[in-house]
Amino acid sequence: MGYPGKFYCPRMNSMNKPTYAAICTHSPTKPVLIFVSSRRQTRLTALDLIQFAASDEHPRQFLNMPEEAFQMVLSQVTDQNLRHTLQFGIGLHHAGLNDKDRSLAEELFANNKIQALLYSLSFIS
């Protein structure tokens, strides 16, 4: 699917609602790996997904953990943005995270504790 737009930020933002709709339609309960172009975009996209889920009155629909176990996991996270998004079942994966936070996000995603993982393509290069 193509997205028109001359400027980077508005074009990236225009992709978030269709991404949320695609998750709800094609993978409402299965893991979703979302590739984005930068670490900043991982955070912005995650925040939009949280907002869309909240507007559907299901803000924690991507989280699959009991509260007690989840609080223990959150206590291990050092990055504030990752801590915030994990509360809604969305993980971040980019070069700005320390190895422990990155591994924790990977583990939670691999074990279906969180449903979505936003992965920065800039991490690959």
What does the H/E/C string look like for 15-66?
Answer: CHHHHHHHHHHHCCCCCEEEEECCHHHHHHHHHHHHHHHHHCCCCCCCECCC
Q: Domain of 86: which CATH number? A: 3.40.50.300
| 2 close to 81: Cβ distance less than 8 angstroms | no
**Is the per-residue pLDDT at 124 higher than 80?**
no
Is residue 23 domain-resident? Answer: yes
Render pLDDT for 42-90 as a digit per residue (tens, 0 to 9): 999 999 999 999 999 999 999 999 988 999 999 999 999 999 999 999 9
Domain count, the chain: 1
Render pLDDT for 92-103 as a digit per residue (tens, 0 to 9): 999 999 999 999
Is residue 3 domain-resident? Answer: no
- Domain boundaries, position 78: 8-123
Is residue 1 domain-resident? Answer: no
Residue 21 CA from chain centroid, whole number: 14
Is residue 2 domain-resident? Answer: no
